[in-house]
Amino acid sequence: MIGREPSTDRQRQIGVTRPALLVALLTAAVAACGSGDADQPVDTVPAVTTSEPPPADETPSTSPPSTSAAPATGDAAVAIADLAERRGVDPADIVTVAVENVTWRSSAIGCPQKDMMYQQVLTDGVRIILELDGRRYQYHAGGGRGPFYCATPERPAGE
């Protein structure tokens, strides 16, 4: 036939052509790449919130906070509620300094934990910086995970 590659006897016996073999290999490769949850650490453990943030890990404020007349919503509201509960204060006493869309360097979402392994993939997320009594607290979110307090934050990619 004109325009077709000649088949080998072996291909005729098992009914496989090069295009069919290529499609099968590509399908297997794509399935293998998508078999895990890219948003979770390799060794997944139940989500645990950090206990009372230690004063030594807090960052003293060096600039005046930016205040907003509107109440916090979404991730910022969740972070404020968590910090208010941890510190035993009224949420109205907490100032939202920044809510930034960032790209985290790994699935650790900027807050790697000791003895954990994380996928080294860029992960879109949010960094929330709150201030209470002159101290700043960072909350991170991303990769399908809601905001959580991070005592030892890493910088996002590109910063």
Tokens coding 28 = 């297997």
The answer to pTM > 0.75 is no
Give the residue from 36, 42, 59 showing the smallest Cα distance to 108: 42
Across the chain, how many H-helices and E-strands are there? 3, 5
CB proximity list for 60: less than 8 A, separation 6 or greater = 134, 135, 136
List per-residue pLDDT tens for the chain, 159 residues long. 555 555 555 545 545 455 554 455 555 444 444 444 444 443 333 344 444 444 434 444 444 444 443 456 699 999 999 999 999 999 999 999 999 999 999 999 999 999 999 999 999 999 999 999 999 999 999 999 999 999 999 999 988
Where in the chain are the domains? Answer: 1-35, 55-150
φ, ψ (nearest 5 deg) of residue 27: -60, -45
pLDDT at 141: 96
pLDDT tens for 125-159 read: 999 999 999 999 999 999 999 999 999 999 999 88
